[in-house]
Amino acid sequence: MSTLFIDGRWVAASAGATRQVINPYDRSVVREVDEADTLDARTAVAAARAAFEDGEWPGWPARRRSALLYRVAELLQRDRAEIARLETLDTGKTLVEGGIDVDDVTGVFRYYATQAESDPGRLVDAGDPSVRSRVIYEPLGVCALIAPWNYPLLQMCWKVAPALAAGNTLVLKPSESTPLTTIKLTELIEEAGAPPGVANLVLGPGGTVGSFLVDSPEVDMVSFTGGLETGSAIMSQAARTVKKVALELGGKNPNIVFADADFEAAIDYALIAVFFHAGQVCSAGTRLVVEDSLHDRFVDELVRRAERIRLGNGLDPDTESGPLVSDEHRDKVESYVEIGINEGARLLTGGRRPDDPALRDGFFFLPTVFDDCTSDMRVVREETFGPILTVERFTDVDTAVRIGNDTTYGLAAAVWTADAGRAEYVARRLRHGTVWINDFGPYLPQAEWGGFKRSGVGRELGHAGLAEYQEPKHIYENTAPEPQRWFAR
Ligand code: NAD
């Protein structure tokens, strides 16, 4: 089956190009997919434009769009096992993680289904009884949705669900290395009954296909999740056509642990925070910021448990963590070990590839812990996007906050303490888009997600996540017009 979806048809790339999708566990070829070029991207944009201008979709009442989203949610659950398996083969993550992703995005589709049909706009009091003023929310038009490889299904759904709820037409562009679940998602949107041209799919490199979408004057908005440098380039490129951009970029997220925290829970979550999905999580808790008096006991136990994490095939139920996504990415993660050591950080465990011959073909890297770190080190400041934890210490609450905010990013943070007043004080002062108290990681479809500072522009999820895909329009109606006689009296 061809894997580009343009104007309601599955088609091959116009130039006949293909790409092999590689399983990061053993480098086997999972599937060959079609590889679009800018000509295919142009056709996809034209289809989305035509569907928005002339198709039946703009005439669909909100209730019908809502029903489509509910149907996609149902189909995601129907095919849950298959989708989880595809995500494992594509990214290396465990089947359990893939299943959690499917459940999460089902919730996101359901949430935006409710939003789609409960957004009639608002009346505005003009202060004049003869004026009827209201603000309604219209779709932007054609939206290009560009997603990364670490959560291919989840990040794409965070965009697709609100963009469809708002009535836009779409061109989806997943990461070239992890397209499988986005192909499946597009099939489900088609099966749910979206008209031709409403959701188009192009697969291909960011530098050509992605860049074309950002440049195209026929695209009204780009919603991007990915790295800081790419996001920054997209923002300046989009300026040429004064396109709206929404950016979800990286994070260097502090996990602040006070000595009075529940030890067992804090340790357990500290491990999950950084080593879940081999650290390839934008909101990973890669910076442990721990109170001095707790430091030795906490870090010793953390290292002991990190060394027991079972790496392996994501399809094996005993596996606790899979490989990194690619050889190239592993090289990048590995380079931070030398950087950290040269900066004076003390390597406590990991820092290399595993010896286990069973893992030889995969892109595995051992859970790694660096102690004696300071906020000025590159290994602390830059996103390694791998299983590397850095440890910093503090002695008082204001120092903890200062360290937690000492980053150019601002995506997520956590604070662990038994003192509710202190927890609230720290949570209020941290400059991050999400702050967890005595927890790490959860998000809710109905609560905004996104970054302060260089972690992004705009928000996904929640009401603001829908507003990203809408244009407010003010309709001002004079119900009793009288000549004003300003001129020509
Ligand atoms: P990336 O920036 O390399 O690529 C992301 C996407 O952009 C891919 O689809 C890629 O093909 C495309 N792309 C690349 N260059 C482009 C260009 N010039 N024009 C248009 N599109 C282009 O990111 P990645 O390596 O795939 O993903 C990892 C990054 O994503 C990390 O930095 C991570 O923190 C970030 N991320 C952020 C969030 C969040 O919610 N804030 C969530 C997940 C991942």
pLDDT digits (tens, 9 = 90+) for 440-458: 999 999 999 999 999 999 9
What percent of the chain has a predicted confidence (pLDDT) above 70?
Answer: 100
What pLDDT is recorded for position 489? 66
14: domain CATH number is 3.40.605.10
Q: Which of 191, 99, 151 is nearest to 325 (CA)?
A: 151
What pLDDT is recorded for position 441? 97
Q: Is 10 left (phi over 0), alpha (psi -120 to 50) or beta?
A: beta
What total number of domains does the chain contain? 2
What is the mean pLDDT of the segment spanning 26-35?
98
Gap between the Cα atoms of 197 and 219, Å rounded? 14
Residue 93 lies in a domain: yes
| Residue 94, pLDDT above cutoff 70 | yes
Amino acid found at 69: L
Residue 5 confidence class, pLDDT cut points 50, 70, 90: very high
| Residue 365, pLDDT above cutoff 90 | yes
Q: Are 343 and 381 in contact (CB under 8 A)?
A: no
The residue segments making up the domain with residue 404 are: 254-437
Residue 480 lies in a domain: no
Residue nearest to atom 16 of ligand 1 (CA): 206
What is the mean pLDDT of the segment spanning 301-321?
98
Q: Which of 52, 38, 27 is nearest to 4 (CA)?
A: 38
Tell whether ligand 1 has an atom less than 6 A from the beta carbon of residue 290: no
Gap between the Cα atoms of 139 and 423, Å rounded? 40
What pLDDT is recorded for position 408? 98
Ligand 1: centre distance to CA 211 (Å): 12
Q: Which two tokens stand for residue 254?
A: 């502090």
Q: Which of 35, 282, 328 to mutate to test the pocket of ligand 1 (most atoms within 8 A of CB)?
A: 282
Residue 139 lies in a domain: yes
What pLDDT is recorded for position 488? 77
Atom of ligand 1 nearest to the CA of 329: 25
What is the mean pLDDT of the segment spanning 323-339?
98
pTM of the predicted protein model: 0.97
Ligand 1: centre distance to CA 489 (Å): 62
What is the mean pLDDT of the segment spanning 290-310?
98
Same domain, 405 and 350: yes
Same domain, 161 and 61: yes
377: domain CATH number is 3.40.309.10
What pLDDT is recorded for position 412? 98
Residue 119 confidence class, pLDDT cut points 50, 70, 90: confident
Tell whether ligand 1 has an atom less than 6 A from the beta carbon of residue 148: yes
Same domain, 466 and 425: no
What is the mean pLDDT of the segment spanning 161-189?
98
Residue nearest to atom 8 of ligand 1 (CA): 175
What is the mean pLDDT of the segment spanning 303-317?
98
What is the mean pLDDT of the segment spanning 113-133?
93
